[in-house]
Amino acid sequence: MFKIMKCGRFCKITLRVFVLVVIATAVFTSLVKTVQNWDDDPDRGAVVLNESVFGDHFDKIYPGITKDDNDKEVPWQGWKPDDSMWYYTTTQGSDLLPYDFFMVLEQKESKELFRSDKNMDFYRYIPLKPTFSNPDGLALGFVKDVYQGKEYVGLTCAACHTAQINHKGVAMRIDGGPAMADMQNFVTALSDAMQATIDDEEKAKRFINAVIDRNGVVRMVSGGRDYSSEKDVKEDMAKFASRLKDYITMNHSNLDYGYARLDAFGRIYNRTLQHVLNKKHLEAALLSVLDKDTQADKIKQIKAVLKTIPKGVLKGNDFDHVIGSIKEIFSERKMVELKNELFNKPNAPVSYPFLWDIAQHDYVQWNGIAANAGLGPIGRNTGEVIGVFGMLDWHEQEGFSLSALIGGEFPFGTHVKYESSVNVNNLERIENHLRDLISPQWPEDILGKLDRDKINYGQVIYEQRCVSCHAVIDRDDPERKVIANFTSVKKAGTDPKMAVNALTYTGRSGIVQDQYLNVGLGNLYMEEQMPVAALLTIATTNVVATPDPDKWWIRRGADWAYTLVSSLLDNPVKASLKRGDYEPDTTVNPFASLMAYKARPLNGIWATAPYLHNGSVPSLYELLLPKKKKGDADGEYRPDVFYTGSREFDPVNVGLKSQGYNGSRYLTNLEGNSNAGHNYSDGMTRDERLYLLEYLKSL
């Protein structure tokens, strides 16, 4: 009896402390929201470059302020400058490289810093000047993240979802717009720069001295140092150079994405497969690629390497160690075979989706792979952080775990603890922030006056041909809901590669084998080989269910509870069936509906070139043209070859400059690059196309 009373009292005290911490967390969150208004640079950190990579020069910054009917100034997209700056500089837990490394790293073949404005502009990341929230002047979408006491540079949502378009010397920032970035070649160049620093004695010396000097001076105030000796720096140089190389090898694709595109899901899938991999499944993969005549000798070496891993789960350093050791055993050809055994080719690049109205959507992504109800937005964004170098320290742990129960594991005994750098709290705040973002309206003072008569004619055509899929919404309505309309890939006729990969890619289930995943139709049992869509879902669920390892244990639990509860209560989107003409999910094929593409409202569509999900059409006018087929007579057709990379806007055709410069060459005859489909303007005259185009400008 005494023990029960004592336990009850202890539980009450613990509960009271927990409630107080939850309240303190809510207050702290409010204070943080106040601080986020402090960086109100009117130019949103913009830097005017004297020389731009493709000559798209600008010397003026569009202020992003318009006037309403009462001549009152209002933010162009609903965000004031401080809202934009917070979005650009809020970490989500991406850890690409040690921060001090990135700050002093030189380019491969010169002493110029890799992070220089000119170099970042070459990969079409937007240079920014130093401001309150970005004191080091990192390019837009790059930010400092702190994980386990160490500083890293990582990417924010804004890196892929912020656009800039230029016209007649004026630069217009499009918050939430599709980035022009070439992340594929950026990461390759970063890897090359790291390796060149290791290989070149003089570069290495400059780099090591700069890291130690910077670490000693810059971090003097905050205390603690990531690097205090040459040995420390060299160890991390080797580790992160190897990780970058392995990432590039894992995500090798024969298709060059070029500017404005990324196979984000392919890369998220592969990082998920890398980290759900366990010792048992890695061994099976290694043995499966051996030649029979060499098998006996190699098996012994492989087993010796695997013995160095004490448990079944592969932590990040374990994977680095094993792959590094296997490289000494396997030939280059065998390493390629191993990569193909473990991973899938990310060969379906798509345009970066634009984000206005995303918080109001029922389903998101080009094929609606992510439901937006409940905790869906946090799960979706967690997957995104996994794809952009979130640090994943998943490991085995004994004892009871509420997180394991929520994530689908048995809560007692041995389970996997999904600790990571993913900042779930910030992901929830970012999603809330996006609710206030609205689409940009055509700036007539810069791009020219719209013709009201043509708009009226175009509206009639839109209602006849477009509105059944692309609904018209009130962009200013805070209660708006966006119900996407799905069309099967076969009917739409657009390039199927992205949808096919999402449906058919599979991988080894590793640490989630024998668990169950609820897919709406029922529970899906996780066998050894499973669709990666299922593995990603169960992995992100577990990461979201795991409290932040960087916080004190009481605050960790309080933040975790506050974030999950507020996400569920604040999300206005409820679970619903997909709308449209598509093949529905069944118990036989629970992911069948992924073979469809989503149509959404077209407000702000003028600022989102290039078009179609894979960026295969450079302008809106050309999207209204048919694709030329063999035997077609001369006339107007969608271009089969064009270039991407320029920010210079074409207000006549409504797109970005696509000819006359040495950008990324887009060939529509390559797999994944087709510009066919979406033929809903067939039979229109040129005048009708121009009327419809004028209406699209006005949305």
pLDDT at residue 664, as a whole number: 97
CA–CA–CA angle 390, 365, 379 (5° rounding): 45
* Separation between Cα atoms, residue 432 and residue 157, nearest integer Å: 13
What average pLDDT score do residues 69-75 get? 82
Strands (E) in 3-139, as ranges, are: 58-61, 65-67, 73-75, 97-98
3-state SS class at 529: strand
Contact 416, 337 (CB under 8 A): no
Which three-class secondary structure state does DSSP give residue 596? strand
Q: Max alpha carbon distance in the chain (Å)? A: 94
DSSP annotation string for 134-151: BTT-PPTTEEEEEETTEE
0.75 cut: is pTM over it? yes
pLDDT at 151: 94
Q: Measured in whole angstroms, how far is the alpha carbon of residue 542 from the centre of its chain?
A: 19
In this prediction, residue 392 has a pLDDT band, given cuts at 50, 70 and 90, of very high
Instruction: Summarize pLDDT for 443-487 with one digit per residue, the tens.
Output: 999 999 999 999 999 999 999 999 999 999 999 999 999 999 999
DSSP one-letter string for 153-166: EEE-GGGTSEEEEE
Q: Does pLDDT of 2 surpass 50?
A: no
Residues in the chain: 699
CB 387 within 8 A of CB 271: yes
- Cis check: omega of the bond before 127, within 30 degrees of 0: no
Whether residue 14 is predicted with pLDDT greater than 70 in this model: the reply is no
Listed range (523-532, 578-587, 627-636) with the worst mean pLDDT: 627-636
Provide the 3-class DSSP secondary structure of residue 606.
helix
> Can you spell out the DSSP letters for 434-461?
HTT--PPPP-HHHH----HHHHHHHHHH
Most confident stretch, 7-16, 314-323, 687-696 = 687-696
Look up residue 252 and give its two tokens.
Answer: 């090798």
Segment 213-247, tens digit of pLDDT: 887 765 555 556 788 899 999 999 999 999 999 99
Beta carbons within 8 Å of 425's beta carbon, 6+ residues apart: 548, 559, 563
3-state secondary structure at position 408: coil
Alpha-helical regions (H) of 466-581: 489-492, 497-504, 532-544, 553-570
Residue 29: the pLDDT is 59
The pLDDT of 398-410, averaged and rounded, is 79
For residue 113, name the pLDDT band (cuts at 50, 70, 90): very high
Answer with the residue of higher pLDDT: 694 or 40: 694
pLDDT of residue 4: 40
Model confidence at 104, pLDDT cuts 50, 70, 90, reads very high
* Runs of H (alpha helix) within 343-474: 376-387, 402-407, 424-434, 444-447, 452-465
SS (H, E, C) 167-185: ECEEEEEEECCCCCCCHHH
Across 335-339, 341-345, 563-567, 571-575, least confident range: 563-567
Cβ–Cβ under 8 Å, residues 266 and 501: yes
The Cα 512–Cα 575 span in angstroms is 25
Amino acid at 668: T
Please name the amino acid found at residue 163: A
